[in-house]
Chain A
Amino acid sequence: MLSRRSLVIARSGLKLVLTDPAPMVTTIAMPLLLGAFLIPNARATLRLRGFANATGAEYVIPGMAVLFAFFGITMIGTLFFREHAWGTWDRLRASSATTADLLVGKLTPLYLCYLVQMAVLFGLGYLLFGFRVTGSIMGLALLVLVLVLVLVAFGAMLVAVFSTMDQALTVGSLLGMVMSGLGGALAPSNTLPEWSQAIAHFMPPYWALEGLRKVSLEHGTLSDVTTNLLVLGVFAVIFAGVATFRFNASDAKVGNT
């Protein structure tokens, strides 16, 4: 999968993404800032519900991480759409890199950025806000890895489906907000109306957040989160499938410079 050419493209993609640090700052700084305000309330709620040692971070950190990860999807703007505005997309296509090289090369930096985001958020959540894992660390790690895969596949789908950067980014963050909200990133989904609890099961963030809560609060083992991992995996496959089916490297796209 990771051909030499896709690595070359990934390397330059990473450089390009890092020259515009705004999305990375959003995905890391915003959850921490907003989280700081939400944690006391979450702590009180969790203690009332019988988690005597809860700090509130077990609930807030994953929720914020997922919500703002969707805002970080703006990185596909730099990775794909801007290439069209710069006139460089066709140059990459004219090189001996294949379409697969291009896709893999462009999505790898996104995957890495998301991994860094999650690692920093969970790390700082631990250091600053008392985020603890009472269950399987492996479970947490796998959940994060598969969640990031879902996010990347979602980004790829946006690239494949939309022809302008503005459309892709607007729809991306709106859908991200809806999916995260219904999935329980802002308030536990079982405190939401019944209709929304029903559709929450169709939202990838629901499965990620539920799994993360199990391993952090409820001593969840790896096998306790197997379903969560599988469902997330299915979402990743669906999104990636749509992306692969719809993506055409020769499509003209409109990006902002």
Chain B
Amino acid sequence: MLEIAGLAKRYGDREVLRGVDLTVRAGQVLGLLGANGAGKTTMVSICAGLRSADGGSVHVAGIDVARHTGRAQARMGIAPQALGVYPTLSVAENIALFARLAGMKPAEVRARVTEVARLMGLDDRLGVKAEVLSGGQKRRLHTGMAIVHRPDVLFLDEPTVGADVQSRSGILDVVRDLAASGSAIVYTTHYMTELEQLDADIAVLHDGRIVESGSIDELVQRHATASVRLRFEGDAPAEPPSGWEAEGELLVSTLAAANPGPAIAQVLAELGEDANRLKGIDLERASLESAYRAITGDTSRKEELDVVAA
């Protein structure tokens, strides 16, 4: 449904995208991960026909976005990262505008406005001006405006920023329903648990390319490691059990165990006297987050620092 090939984008002499290849099928939710400044918003904006690319192509339902922008845009919806609602128009008017732009008839517009407001939990706020909504409600309205025309391809760029627990799970429900009804969805977020809840497929944008993609299970299997750290009062035991390494006050598991529980039980049994000096246990299970860290490696942190410095 969405095909991105060799997509390149430069801002001045800063190469942000350096050949992005990505395909999203109908009914698929693709979680797009990447550090701040990795180029997610840039990529999504190019796909939606809002910015031009310096190379490569984007096709939506077989339509070339750069060549037939309007026709492609009719099949797409985007809720940009930056909030975009008309503060002086009511919730209903905000949604209706985009229903009308999509060519719906008045009766259809009315029905769809009610439906989208219900999906977004705004049904009791239809007549209220958008400016008086709370931050999370505005974000939901903002997302609702992108789905009103039932797009085949939907881009949600950090849709849950500022949303409370209920709104967040509401938005996730809507995403699941849309995917179930056949939309291809690109979902950008920094909250990995959301992607786990959506059981999304993952693509990691790093250094201007998609460096890894697959299901969460695949990524976790390929990259994630569980790590266990035992912290001691004073130095960690000098002669650690096998599979463990002493680093100052820490005893660190060198086993990439999928299930670290038994390893911990074993090491605790072997500690003997040293167990009295045990201060704490840190356990990080193999998760999407640890896989993501492994994939982006140290360079991602270095780049984040560069971004901060710049």
Contact = CB atoms under 8 A, between A and B. Distances in A.
A218 interface: no
B100 A8 contact: yes
Given A9-B101, A95-B101, A87 B78 contact: no
B73 A20 contact: no
A123 B77 CA distance: 47
Given A15-B93, A91-B98, A91-B145, A98 B85 contact: no
A96 B102 contact: yes
Please classify how large the interface on chain B is, using the bins under 10, 10 to 19, 20 to 34, 35 or more. 20 to 34
Given A87-B83, A87-B84, A93 B50 contact: yes
Given A15-B89, A16-B86, A20-B88, A91 B80 contact: yes
A250 B50 CA distance: 7
Interface residues of A, number: 25
Nearest to B79: A91
A86 to B, nearest CB: 6
B84 A96 contact: no
A77 to B, nearest CB: 13
Interface in A94-119: 94-98
Given A8-B97, A15-B93, A96-B70, A257 B87 contact: yes
A5 interface: yes
A113 to B, nearest CB: 16
B51 A94 contact: no
Contacts of B49: 93-94
Interface in B85-134: 85-89, 93, 97-98, 100-103
- Of A12, A97, A98, most buried by chain B (CB within 10 Å of CB) is A12
B interface: dominant SS? loop
A91 B70 contact: no
A93 to B, nearest CB: 6
B10 interface: no
A4 B89 CA distance: 21
Contact of A90 (B50, B74, B89): B50
Contacts of B82: 87, 90
A257 B83 CA distance: 13
A88 interface: yes
Nearest to A96: B74
Interface string A199-224: 00000000000000000000000000
A97 B103 CA distance: 10
A87 B98 CA distance: 14
Contacts of A12: 86, 89, 93, 97
B219 interface: no
B232 to A, nearest CB: 53
Contact of B85 (A9, A16, A20, A88): A88
Interface string B28-65: 00000000000000000100111110000000000000
Interface in A1-50: 4-5, 8-9, 11-12, 15-16, 19-20
A140 B74 CA distance: 44
A5 B86 contact: no
Contacts of B222: none
A86 B87 contact: yes
Q: Sorted from nearest, which 6 A-B pairs have the closest CB atoms?
A: A87-B84, A96-B74, A19-B88, A8-B100, A95-B101, A91-B84
Given A91-B84, A94-B76, 7 more contacts: A9-B101, A87-B85, A92-B101, A93-B49, A94-B77, A94-B80, A250-B50
Interface of A: 4-5, 8-9, 11-12, 15-16, 19-20, 86-98, 250, 257
11 contacts: A15-B89, A86-B84, A87-B83, A88-B86, A89-B84, A90-B45, A91-B80, A94-B80, A96-B70, A96-B74, A97-B70
